[in-house]
Structure 1
Amino acid sequence: MNENTSLLDQHSLNILLELQRDARQTLQQIAEAVGLSPTPCWRRIKDMEAAGVIRGYTVTVDREAVGLNISAVTEVNLDRHSEQHVRRFEEAVAACPQIVRCVSATGSADYILTVLAPDIKRYERFLQDTLFKLPGVTHVRSSIVLREVKSDATLPLGQDGTAAPRRRTR
């Protein structure tokens, strides 16, 4: 159990669901939606921000509307797995804006990346000029996304037993 889950009772989970649905709501709107008055609602939000449960606020952009028409799921293998080699690779990935997601994984790939590009030629250029030159990369396997069936950053809080509500300690 994460120490932050001790902050999360049903009201806090409902606040998180409301913020995920629309973070531009007023405090009054959020409080009404979760059945609290504004002051305790505000306190819970501030507590969750301070504890790192809420890491920030963002906007969702349609990638194709801004010209990023290619999404590729790219599997990468490294030649060595020492701490230094892994750190160098991960730092290089973090500095690359075309890579919007990178996870270290089990299975046939060491890392699975999501890479965005305007078109297939630019993706190929990205592979040649950037990815193949990253520290330790020995093998790259790409799958171009034909259609996104589901792309949802909303966490399933309190649903199906996930993130079960915990009693607040305050």
Structure 2
Amino acid sequence: MARPKLDAIDLKILKAIQDRADISNTELAALVGLSPSPCLRRVKMLEDARVIQRRVTLLDPAAIDLSVNVFVNVSLEKQVEERLQEFEQAVRRRPEVVECYLMTGESDYLLRVVVPDLAAYEAFLKDHLTRVPGVASIKSSFALKQVQYRTALPLDHLKT
């Protein structure tokens, strides 16, 4: 499906649901200046066009004992399609890996791993990541402090 042309109302809807995924349609409609039925139709159109992919609840990592963030650079022995797919499938199976990007530059992948402590990261590394076929090197960096974390994407460049 082609990307829809977004107008000012669509942008208001997107901003509102990024800020508060649990907003009711009635509240959303009032906030963006529509009645509930047209607002619901717009949200449905945005979902059908995959502009809105899903709605989630964000948890406080410290409240659930996942306060260690590790950024992991992984290089593969060979960058052939089969090895890339094998690595990506292995990473998708690991709940500790909350983000994974195929990269340009010195490493092939950048992962963000969340764990409760260093022992849990060591176990993840030894029992899982080092056992993925084709992994040549792993470099880990531990985050000392989260300075900023956003899930809302910027929308200002789409102004109509």
* Post-superposition CA distance 1:116-145 (Å, at most 9, x none): 111011111111111111121111111101
Aligned equivalent of 2:98: 100
Length-normalised TM-score, structure 2: 0.95
Describe how 1:78-157 pairs up with structure 2 within 5 A: 78-157=76-155
RMSD: 1.3
Describe how 1:19-34 pairs up with structure 2 within 5 A: 19-34=17-32
Which residue of 60, 63, 68 maps to 1:62? Answer: 60
* Post-superposition CA distance 1:56-84 (Å, at most 9, x none): 11100011110112110000000111111
Aligned length in residues: 160
**Alpha-carbon shift at residue 164 of structure 1 (Å):** 4.3
Whole-angstrom distance in 2 between the partners of 1:69 and 1:120: 10
Which residue of 30, 34, 37 maps to 2:35? Answer: 37
Aligned equivalent of 1:17: 15
Task: Name the amino acid aligned to 1:3.
Answer: A
**SS in structure 1 opposite 2:89?**
helix
Percent identity over the alignment is 37
Aligned equivalent of 1:168: none
Unaligned runs of 5+ in 1: 166-170
**Alpha-carbon shift at residue 34 of structure 1 (Å):** 1.1
Length-normalised TM-score, structure 1: 0.90
Whole-angstrom distance in 2 between the partners of 1:8 and 1:79: 44
Unaligned runs of 5+ in 2: none
**Alpha-carbon shift at residue 3 of structure 1 (Å):** 2.3
